[in-house]
Structure 1
């Protein structure tokens, strides 16, 4: 666990909630979460901060490696996760609020000039794909054993492998992957493939089923709905997706 902790100790009228500080984990995933001058910043960080403010739930945010974070959530050693997509395995130990706070779409990227190489899903069988380990993209891709997948820990590694020609295709989520492509100077080198799955991937503030934080699911859902309705989530996003 990296020793980078962002704690929000907020006053509250809900004394029963205020009595405990809940740990919410995340991983480095710009622009939703990243370290900047020893502080954790990003879209999801600000959203969790606002949920804390609106609900009176005291939260501290801690960065973990992805695999360790899943183990801690399953055991109730961490109370929540700032961003997570649904899958059946995770639903065993993560409670998802009724309201997601962000919608992503899956995209495939190739080197400039190669976009026609991936025109249909079947082209992925021939080419193989670079993926981030543990990520959920879309079905049937997630569990398709016929597609050769090269796994890495972080998305920046995918970009570097595509740039060096070690893989011909990578998969990511819009608009997150575009932000990383721009940040690392690959905009003129990469382009989206012709094929688009056309799926929506919902992102949630997940709660460990073994944590007392799960009992506040309805309050968290109400806060997220209000933030979407008043335009705050869109406003936060625009700060990081320029």
Structure 2
């Protein structure tokens, strides 16, 4: 009997199962491409001449590359980043602080990307010595929309809070005397001052208001808990390599200072 007679058309059910299998494989492959949102936050993450740069961005990109995961990045105002996470329009956020309220929505790796120190900046022409919230009586402090401050800072009636759409806008308002102080991360402030060439006009107050760790956090979807574990383990390995030390030095991420922290000005800030 000819073997040709044994070749029969594939049953319809087998064709359907095969198509479903290929579809599942395709969906799984696509699921590996994460959509990560963040706000420009130099020197941690920013764009220059069409190229993404920064200590935390480059660290994250290296870790994801080692894990074989493709990432789609998007820069947005921070308030929009948080909204996209809540609406399920983004898989994760870069350089987000941990807060108990976000635990129901996000998975955080055990290893942070970096640490930040928040301080006040003032115009040299209008200096305002600052150590506690009591020293801010009658003043206006520049803040950032979408950032969550401590209850003491946010609800104090001693001073006003005034948000600006960007860090550059905040420093411009400070230079022009439209606000009395502004609060931001020390290294971010220094980077903006250098970029705007305002280093001779604006000074940072040495008092550290709060210290926070920054993370790459992802939404609590299926499999994401395993992803953050893999990310954390690979991040720890990378931090022990000379390449990470070189990257940190390039972006001025040296040891945290030991400046005093005001007991009544604990302004915990959550990006």
Task: Confirm whether residue 222 of structure 1 aligns to residue 233 of structure 2.
Answer: yes
Determine if the alignment matches structure 1 residue 22 to structure 2 residue 34.
Answer: yes
Q: Which moved more, 1:16-25 or 1:109-118?
A: 16-25
SS at 2:138's partner residue? helix
- 8 Å CA contact retained: 1:132, 1:151: yes
Closer, same or farther: CA 21–32 of 1 in aligned 2, 3 Å: same
Does 1:169 find its partner at 2:157? no
**SS at 1:178's partner residue?**
helix
Match of 1:96 among 83, 98, 108: 108
Q: Is the 8 A contact 1:110 1:170 kept in 2?
A: yes
Cα gap change, 1:58 to 1:49, in 2 (>3 Å) = same
Q: Which protein is bigger by CA-based radius of gyration? A: 2
TM-score under structure 1 normalisation? 0.82
Match of 1:11 in 2: none
How many aligned positions are there? 225
The 5-angstrom pairing of residues 10-159 of structure 1 reads 20-112=32-124, 114-136=126-148, 140-141=152-153, 143-146=154-157, 147-159=159-171
Displacement of 1:18? 8.1
For the Cα contact (< 8 Å) 1:115–1:194, is it kept in 2?
no
- Given that residues 18 and 57 in structure 1 are in contact (C-alpha distance below 8 angstroms), is that contact kept between their aligned partners in structure 2? no
Distance 1:231 1:136, change over 3 A: farther
1:12 corresponding residue in structure 2: none
Distance 1:188 1:32, change over 3 A: same
Cα distance in 1 for residues equivalent to 2:234 and 2:30: 17
> Alpha carbons of 1:54 and 1:18: their partners in 2 closer, same or farther (altered >3 Å)?
farther
Say which structure is richer in strand. Answer: 1
- Which runs of no fewer than 5 residues in structure 2 stay unpaired? 1-27, 254-271
Residues 1:75 and 1:231: Cα distance change in structure 2 (over 3 Å): farther
User: What's the counterpart of residue 187 of structure 1?
Assistant: 199
Say what the alpha-carbon RMSD is for the aligned residues. Answer: 2.4
Q: Which residue of 2 aligns with 1:6?
A: none
> TM-score, normalised on structure 2?
0.74
Instruction: For 2:46 and 2:206, locate their aligned partners in 1 and report how far apart those are by CA, in whole Å.
Output: 30
1:133/1:151 contact within 8 Å kept: yes
